[in-house]
Structure 1
C-alpha cells in the first residue's frame, strides 16, 4: 500500500502487534528489577590521570564482548526458523529471541557510541539528504513499536522536498533515538506525535508524547552522557542513558541544536531537533 509521506498517520492492528509474546515483557521486567548502579554514582569521568582512557577501554571491551555472540545466535535462529516453518509455537519463541538479540545489539552500539562521544570521534559523512530519506526508517519502526503498545502514532511532514547536508545514517539514528525514548516512556494507549517542517533556514523535527515527562531536576542534564534518574531506572528497559547524548552529538556536528521541554512528571515531553537547510527544495528531475 502506498502512503503519502507528506502526511503520515499509522494505525497497525495485526495479530503480532496486538498479541506479542509476553516473554519479552517478563525478561525486561526482570532486568528493571535487578540491582541498578548509576554510572554517575561511580563518577566515570575520573579525576585521576588516565581514568577517562581506562573507562573508554572498558566500555569498548564490554561492547565487543556483547557483540561477539550475536552473529552465531542470529544464524542459529535463521536455521531453526527454516526447519520449524510449520511450528508456530517455535516461531513465536524465535521472534522473542530475535527481539532480545536486537536489544543486546542496541546496548553494544550505545556503549561504543559512548566512547566515541567522550573522544569527540563520532564518524560522519557529508551528503545531500532528502528529509524523507533519513526519516522513513525511524518512522516505520516507530509505527510498528507503537502498535505493539496500543499507542497512537501520528507523523506529519509539511514539505517532503526539504534537503539538508549531512550523514543520513547518523541523522536517522538521532531521530530514532528520540522516537525510541518516546515509545519507551509513554504508557499503553498514549499518543506520540512527530511534526517535520521548515522554520526560516532550519529544518525542525518535533517529537512530542504524553508520557512520563521529565522532572525539573533532570531536564537541564537530559542530554548528558549516562544521565540517570528514577525515571530512567524505572522505565529504561535496559537503557544506559546514552541515546540522548548521541542525539546531541550528531545534531551539533551538523550545525544544529536539540532541546527538551516538559511540564514535569506525568505531563509528557517534547524534543525539538533543528538542522540548517542547505537546499530548501529539490527540483523535479534533478539528479540526487
Structure 2
C-alpha cells in the first residue's frame, strides 16, 4: 500500500490525487446527505408526535367536556403501544392537570401547567403541547414528551455513510489504479527508454506510441528528441569515420570513376560497332546497284539487304530515343483496348525475318479465346519484339524461340524462352540495367547495345505490369516472364457454326488484310461454312482478285500496303461487277469522321477492329443488299 501511494513517483501522486479528490467529494456529499437526513428525521418526528397529540385531543375532548378524568386516563394509557413516548398528560382549559400517563412513574415528572402550543426539543427529547378544541371552544391541552433519538440517528446514519465512503474509496483506488496505467505506463516506458539510452548509448531506441493527447505529444516529442540526438550522433560518427577512412573513400571513388569510364568506352565502342555492322552491307548493296544495275534479281537482293540493315539501324536509334524519352518523362503512352493476338502479330512482323535469318524455330502458344488488355498496342508489341529479338540474338543458330501466353486470375502471363546461352545467376538481377550485356565476346558480332531489356522493363512498368528473368544457368537458355493486368474481361469464345448454316446459300467473299494470322483465321472459318474465299494481303492483289473473282462480299482493311482501302473501294466500284459487291471496311479507326470517309469511298458497312466473327455472320445473314444487287 505504501508503494501504491508513494508520493515520490508519478504513479503514487496520481493515486493520491484520485483518492483525495474522491474523499473530498464523498465528505461533502455525506455532510449534505447527513444534514438532509437530520432535517427529514426532525420533520418526521415532529409531524408524527403532532399527529399523535391531535388524535389524543380528539379522543379526550368528550372526557374533558363531561369532566370524565377516568376515561381520559384510559385514553392516555393507550399510548403504551408507543414506547418512544415518555410522558403524556391532559390539562383543562384553566390549565389544571386533568389526566396523565407515564410508562415508568417517577422517572419523568409531569409539568404542573401546560406550555404554549407547539413543539420544542429539550435535552434530546421532543415536547409537544397541542390544544383540545371542540366546536370552536377550547377545552384543554394535550401534552406529549417523546424520545427524539437524533444523536442515535446521526451515529447510525453516519456509520452507514462511513461504510459507504470506505467502500467507495476502495473502489476509487482500484479504478484509479486501473486507469492510471494509461498515464503512468507511457511515462514509465519513457523513463525505461531514457535509462537504456544512457546506459547503452543507443539512440535508435523509441518509446511506443500508446495513445494520443498530451501523453502522445510527450512521447512523440521524446522520440523526436532521440531521433535528433541520434542524427547528430550519427553525423558526428560519420564525420569521424570519413576523416579516418578518407583515403579508402577516395580510392573507392577513383575505382568507381574508372569503372564508369570503362563502361562509357565499352558503350561507345559497342555503339560504333553496331552502327558499322549495318553500314557495311548497305555499302555493299550500293556497290551492287552501281555495278549490276541491269540485273533485276541482284538489284532486288541488294535492296532487301539494304532495307533490312536500315531497319536494324532505325531499331537501334529508336531504342536509344525511347530510353531517353522515358528517363525525361516525355514518352507518350496511348492507352486503349488492345487484343493480344493483334499485339503478337505486330511483334512478329518486326522480328520474324530476324528469327528466320538465324534459322531458329519459332513456337507460338496463345489462348484460344480473345484476351483484351488496356494499353498502348505499339508499345506492347515493342515489348514482345524486344524480348523475341533478345532471345534470337543470344541463341546459337538453329535454336528454338518460344512465346507462350496464359490468363492467370485476371492477369496475362507472357513468357518468352529460348535455348540460347543462358544467364549466369549473378547476372539475373542486372540484365535489365542499361548497357548490360550477358555476352559481350567478340565471337558474338551482333550483341547489341544492351538497352532492349531495359526498355522492355520500363514499358512494362508503364503498363502497370512486371517482368522477371530466369535461367537454369549458362548454356541452358533463358526465360523472361511478363505479367500484365487484364482490365477488360475476355470475351466469351466464339460459338460453333451451326450445321444448318453451312447448308445455307453460299457467297463469294474477298478478304484483304496485311494481318496474315487474322485474315487466314477468318478465311478458314468462312471456308468451313461453305463460302468461296479469296485472301490477299495488299491493295493491288485485292483489286486483281476482285476483277477476276467478282465477290459478293469484300472485307477490306483500310491500312493496306501499296493502296489504301479507300482507294481500293473506289477502284472496285469501277469494275463491271463492282456495283454488285457489298463492301465492308475493316479498320482500327472508329471515329465518326472515319465512318464518313468509308461511306464516301463506297463502303456499305464499317467495322472496327478487333472484329468478332459474329459481326461477320450478321452481315452475311443480311442478304437484302446482295440479293437486290444480284437482281
Same fold (TM over 0.5): yes
Structure 1 residue 167 and structure 2 residue 167: aligned? no
User: When the two structures are superposed, what TM-score results if normalisation uses the length of structure 2?
Assistant: 0.32
1:268-287 to 2 correspondences below 5 Å: 268-282=477-491
Number of matched pairs: 222
In the other structure, the counterpart of 1:240 is: 449
Distance 1:155 1:85, change over 3 A: farther
Instruction: Report the counterpart of residue 122 of structure 1 in structure 2.
Output: 331
Could you tell me which of 305, 309, 312 is aligned with 1:100? Answer: 309
Q: Which residue number in structure 1 is paired with residue 366 of structure 2? A: 157
Give the distance between the partners of 2:491 and 2:387, measured in 1 at CA. 27
Render the CA deviation track for 1:129-166: whole Å, top value 9, x for unaligned.
Answer: 11111111212444433322221111011144111101
Distance 2:445 2:411 in 1: 31
Q: What is the rounded CA distance, in whole Å, between the counterparts of 2:358 and 2:318 in structure 1?
A: 24
Conserved in 2, the CA contact under 8 Å of 1:164 and 1:278? Answer: yes
TM-superposed CA distance for 1:238, in Å, is 5.4
* TM-superposed deviation, 1:219: 1.4
Q: Distance in 1 between matches of 2:376 and 2:490?
A: 18
1:251 is aligned to 2:460: yes
Secondary structure at the counterpart of residue 220 of structure 1: coil
**Residue 261 (1) aligns with residue 470 (2):** yes
C-alpha distance in 1 between matches for 2:355 and 2:311:
17
Post-superposition CA distance 1:31-76 (Å, at most 9, x none): xxxxxxxx954566xxxxxxxxxxxxx9xxx9xxx8xxx9xx9xx9
* CA distances 1:60-101 after superposition (whole Å, capped 9, x unpaired): xx9xxx8xxx9xx9xx98xx69x9585212322222222221
- Deviation beyond 4 Å, 4+ runs, structure 1: 39-44, 83-86, 231-234, 283-288
Task: Say yes or no: does 1:198 pair with 2:394.
Answer: no
- Gap regions ≥5 residues in structure 1: 1-38, 45-57
- Structure 2 residue ranges without an equivalent (≥5): 1-258, 495-606, 611-631
- Which has the larger helix fraction? 2
Assess if the C-alpha contact under 8 Å between 1:84 and 1:91 holds in 2.
no
Q: 1:135 corresponds to which residue?
A: 344
- In structure 2, the CA distance between the partners of 1:110 and 1:278, relative to structure 1 (3 Å rule), is same
Q: Aligned equivalents of 1:158 and 1:164: distance in 2? A: 14
Contact persistence 2:417–2:477 (CA under 8 A)? yes
Instruction: Determine whether 1:90 maps to 2:299.
Output: yes
How far, CA to CA, are the matches of 1:123 and 1:129 in structure 2? 17
Q: Which has the higher contact order (CA 8 A, sep 6+)?
A: 1
Question: Secondary structure of 2:425's partner?
Answer: coil
User: Quick check: 120-129 or 278-287, which moved more?
Assistant: 278-287
Please say if 1:228 is aligned against 2:437.
yes
Decide whether the 8 Å contact of 1:196 with 1:205 is kept in 2. Answer: yes
Matched residue of 2:353: which SS? helix
Which structure has the bigger radius of gyration? 2
Q: Distance in 2 between matches of 1:139 and 1:233?
A: 28
Q: Cα RMSD over matched residues?
A: 3.2
- Closer, same or farther in 2 for the Cα pair 1:100/1:40, shift >3 Å? farther
SS at match of 1:194: strand
Q: 1:112 to 1:141 in 2, by over 3 A?
A: closer
Judge conservation of contact 1:197–1:204 (CA < 8 Å) in 2: yes
Residues 251 and 275 in structure 1, CA contact (< 8 A), matched pair in contact too: yes
Distance 1:238 1:210, change over 3 A: closer
Contact 2:369 2:491 survives alignment (8 Å): no
- Structure 1 stretch 151-160 or stretch 247-256: which is displaced more? 151-160
Which of 343, 353, 357 lines up with 1:144 in the alignment?
353
**Matched residue SS, 2:331:** coil
Supply the distance in 1 between the matched residues of 2:446 and 2:467 (Cα, whole angstroms): 24
Aligned to 2:574: none
Q: Does 1:185 align with 2:394?
A: yes
